[in-house]
Amino acid sequence: MIVRDLKTSIQVLEIELTNKTKKDGTEESESLSTLFFQAGDTKSTYLNILDELMTSYKGEGLNAMSWKRSYIAENTSVREYLGHPDNKIKSEQSALGSWIERAAQKVIGM
């Protein structure tokens, strides 16, 4: 939870996926992404979003861990997504710096 000011609290849900093996046997890197959101409560919405993210809806074209879910839009008043760092960033320190800078901009904008 980030307390931006006296009236604004922002919840953070970060997902880091591991590499997966493609059908041809090569490894495909999965990404790190973050959801910043505001909801009426601080526990149940967070847990329900996490449960929702673990579910696949193949008929709707939604894989597990896809942020594009109606539940998230319907149960949060404000939401911002922060995608993975640029693939050109090679060092973890640079990636962290990039994430902090981009996250700060998202939180300020909320």
What pTM does this model have?
A: 0.73
pLDDT at 30: 62
Average pLDDT over residues 23-29: 77
Q: Is pLDDT above 70 for 36? A: yes
Q: Is pLDDT above 70 for 23? A: yes
Q: Supply the mean pLDDT for the chain.
A: 84
User: Residue 36: beta bridge partners?
Assistant: 12, 80
Q: What are the start-end ranges of the H helices in 12-86?
A: 44-53, 70-75
pLDDT at 32: 67
